[in-house]
Chain A
Amino acid sequence: MILFIGKRLGSAILVMFAISVMVFLIFFATPGVDPAARIAGRGASPEVLAQVQKTFGFDQPLPVRYGLMMDHLFIKQDLTSYVNVGEKVVPQIVQATPVTLSLVLGAAVIWIVLGLGGGLLATRFRGTFVDPLIMIVGIAAVSMPAYWVGEVVNLITQDKLHSTVFSWVPSLGYAPISDPVQWAAHLVFPWLTLALLYGGIYARVLRAELVTAMSEDYVRTGRAKGLSERRILWRHALRGSLSPVVSLFGLDFGSLVGGSALLTEVVFGLPGIGKLTWDSLQNLDLPVIMACVLYSAFFVVAANAVVDLLYAVIDPRVRHA
C-alpha cells in the first residue's frame, strides 16, 4: 500500500512537470508568434518590450527560459502583469484561491450528501414511487443551468423576498472565513446552486451502480447468510459502487477548483479563480492566463491522485495493479 502511494504521488509530480513544460511551450514557443509582444500587451511601448525581453530571457535558449519562468512563478513569485501594470500575478491567484475553494468544498459536501442519499434511497425503495421521483428530481436538477438557477435564486433572495423570508441574506460577494457566520451566509446559496447540478448527477450514477450491485452474486450470498437488506445495501453493495462516484468526484472537484465554477462565481459575484481566468482572457493578460492554467492543471492532477488513492482504499484489487 505504501509502495502504491509512493508510485502514485511520484507519477502525479511527473505529470505536473510535463504539464508545466507543455503550457510553457504553448505560450512561449509557438512558431510565428512574438511572446514578448503578447506579454507586453496591446500597444506596448518599445521600452516595455525591451524590459519584457530581458525579464523573460527571450534572448536565451528555451530550457533557460523555462527555468526563468518557473523561477518567476514559484520561487520569486514576482511574475508581473503588463496589462494591469504592476499587478503581481501570484498574489492574485493566492487571493482568488480561498474563494473558489470555499465555494467548491462547501458545495461538494452538499452534493455528496444529496447524491449518496438520493442514490441509496432510490435503490432501497426500488419498485415504489420514491425511486422514479428521486430520479426525476435528479434529472431536473441536472438539466437546469447553474447561471439560470443562480439568477433565479438571486431574484428571490436578493429582491422578491428579500424584505421578508430572506432578509438575512447578505448582498452578493465574498466574506473571508475569519468571520464564519458571514462567510457561510454569503456562500449558502452559491453552494446550493452548484450542488444541485452535481447532486442530481451523483444520485443517478450511484443508483445505477447500486442497482447493478444488488443483482451480484455476493448480494445473494449476503441474503443466504441471513444479513438484513440494510446491511447488504450499506456494507456490501455500496462499497463497490463507490468507485465510479469517487472517480467522478475527482474529475469534477479538480476542474471546479481549477476554474469551472466560473458561471456560479460570476452570477454570485465571487472573485474566485474562474472569474480571474475569465477577466484575464478578456484582457489577453498572458502571465495571468498561464498561471491560471498551471494552477488549474495542478488541482486536476492532485484531485486525480487523491482519487486513485481512495480507489485503493475502497477496492483492494487496485492495490496490486
Chain B
Amino acid sequence: MPEPQIEETSAALLEVDDLRVSFRTRQGAVGAVNGLSFSVGKGEVLGVVGESGSGKSMAMYSMMGLLADPNVTVTGSARFRGQELIGMPPKRLNRLRGNDIAMIFQDPMTALTPVYTVGWQIVEQIRTHTDLSREDAWARAVELLDEVGIPDPQRRARSYPHEFSGGMRQRVMIAMSLACNPALLIADEPTTALDVTTQRQILELIRKLQARYGSSVILITHDMGVISEIADRVIVMYAGRAIEEGDRSEVVRRPRHPYTWGLLGAIPRPERRKLPLATIPGLPPKPTVTTVGCAFAPRCPFVMDKCRTILPPLEASGADIDHLDACLLPGGAEREAIRKEVL
C-alpha cells in the first residue's frame, strides 16, 4: 500500500490535545476524560497508568471511534500523522483502523469471534487492508502466528479461539494486530486477564515486536510494574486527567505527584515484606460528581486548602523540564523532601 507522504514532517506520530469524553446520563453530563493532552513519538512506548475508571481506556476508544453510543460526546483533537481522528467519517477511519493503528484488548477470551478459526480472522484483517490473495494472506497469517510464538502455526491457524489458552489467545490478538505493520499499537491492559508468568511473556513479546517493527505503542495498564518494565515515557491519569507525565526512569525513580507516590508504594517489594502493603485510602471520585480543584484532594495525605479550589495545571516543577505534574505542593527539592517521607 502506498503510504501518504504529507504527514512525515511532524515528529510526533499522534498528538492529542484537550481530549474530552462525556456521557449523557440521567444525572446530567458525566466526564470520563476531562482534557487530556499528550503525544506519542515514532517508535516510542508510552505507558498510560491509572486506576480503573481513570478514563485511560475511554480516551483510546474515543480516538479510535469505538464509542458508538449516541450518548457519548467527544471533543478536542487527536491528530494521527496530522490527520484529525475525532469526527473522522467511518469510511476513512476504517482505512486507518487495523492498518495504521491497531489495538489489542484486555480480555483475549472474548475479543476473538468464537465461530471462526484464528487463521480466518487474521486473513480477514489482512484482506481488509491489502490486495493479497486468500492463499498469500493465509501464508502470512501462519507466518505471524509463528512470529508471536504459537507452536505448530500451520495446524493452529485452523483452530478456533476456544481451543487456545488465554496467553495463546492474546498472542493471536497480537499477531492479528501486527498483520498490517501498524505505525501505532494501542494495547489496552493486554496482560490484566492473564496469569503472572504469561503476563511477562506477553510483555516481552510486545517489546520484541515493537523493536522489530518499529511501531509506536500506547500501553494502558493499572499496573506500575508493567509500566516500569517496558515504557519509554509514562502518563499517570487520575479522574480523566493526566496528573504526571515524564520519562519512565524519572517518573519511577523521582515521582512528583502524591498519587504516583501512592501507586508506586502499592507495589509489593521483598525488602519491605514485614510491613503492611501500602494502599491509597479512599476511592476514586465518582464521575457524576464534578470537583472544583484537584480531584485527588480528598484522598491526598498532603492536601492543602487551596487544593480544593484551584485546579493545578500540568507543568514542570523540578529540574527536568519534560517531567510534568499537576500538584500545588512546592516544587524542586522541597517536593523531593516530602516524597522521601512516604516513599
A residues whose Cβ falls under 8 Å from a Cβ of B: 127, 216-218, 220-229, 235-236, 239-240, 314-317
How many chain B residues have a CB neighbour from A under 8 Å? 32
Instruction: List residues of chain A with CB within 8 A of the CB of B112.
Output: 218, 221
CB of B196 within 8 Å of the partner chain: no
Q: Tell whether, in the assembled complex, residue A221 and residue B115 are in contact, meaning their CB atoms are under 8 Å apart.
A: no
Q: Tell whether, in the assembled complex, residue B98 and residue A217 are in contact, meaning their CB atoms are under 8 Å apart.
A: no
Q: Tell whether, in the assembled complex, residue A229 and residue B107 are in contact, meaning their CB atoms are under 8 Å apart.
A: no
Contact with A along B62-88 (1 / 0, CB 8 A): 001110101000000000000000000
Q: Report Cα–Cα, A228/B124, bound state, in Å.
A: 12
CB of B103 within 8 Å of the partner chain: yes
CB of B160 within 8 Å of the partner chain: yes
CB of B335 within 8 Å of the partner chain: no
- Provide a sorted-by-A list of 22 A–B residue pairs whose CB atoms are within 8 angstroms: A127-B70, A217-B110, A218-B112, A220-B66, A221-B103, A221-B112, A221-B113, A223-B65, A223-B97, A224-B102, A225-B124, A225-B176, A226-B93, A226-B96, A226-B97, A226-B98, A315-B114, A315-B115, A316-B114, A316-B115, A316-B162, A317-B160
Given A226-B98, A227-B94, verify A240-B114 contact (CB < 8 Å).
Answer: yes
The residue on B at minimum CB distance from A127 is B70
Q: Tell whether, in the assembled complex, residue A224 and residue B64 are in contact, meaning their CB atoms are under 8 Å apart.
A: yes
Instruction: List residues of chain B with CB within 8 A of the CB of A224.
Output: 64, 66, 97-98, 102-103, 105
Q: Report Cα–Cα, A59/B62, bound state, in Å.
A: 82
Q: Tell whether, in the assembled complex, residue B129 and residue A226 are in contact, meaning their CB atoms are under 8 Å apart.
A: yes
Instruction: List residues of chain A with CB within 8 A of the CB of B93.
Output: 226
Closest 4 interchain pairs by CB?
A226-B98, A225-B98, A226-B97, A217-B110
Instruction: List residues of chain A with CB within 8 A of the CB of B160.
Output: 316-317
Q: Is the interface of A mostly helix, strand, loop or mixed?
A: helix
Contact of B113 among A222, A223, A226, A314 (CB under 8 A): A222
Instruction: List residues of chain B with CB within 8 A of the CB of A222.
Output: 113
Q: Tell whether, in the assembled complex, residue B115 and residue A227 are in contact, meaning their CB atoms are under 8 Å apart.
A: no
Instruction: List residues of chain B with CB within 8 A of the CB of A227.
Output: 94, 98, 124, 128
Instruction: List residues of chain A with CB within 8 A of the CB of B97.
Output: 223-226
Instruction: List residues of chain B with CB within 8 A of the CB of A220.
Output: 66, 105, 111
Q: Tell whether, in the assembled complex, residue B115 and residue A239 are in contact, meaning their CB atoms are under 8 Å apart.
A: yes
Q: Report Cα–Cα, A298/B138, bound state, in Å.
A: 44
Q: Which of A222, A224, A235, A317 has the most CB of B within 10 A?
A: A224
Q: Tell whether, in the assembled complex, residue B107 and residue A218 are in contact, meaning their CB atoms are under 8 Å apart.
A: no
Q: Report Cα–Cα, A279/B110, bound state, in Å.
A: 54
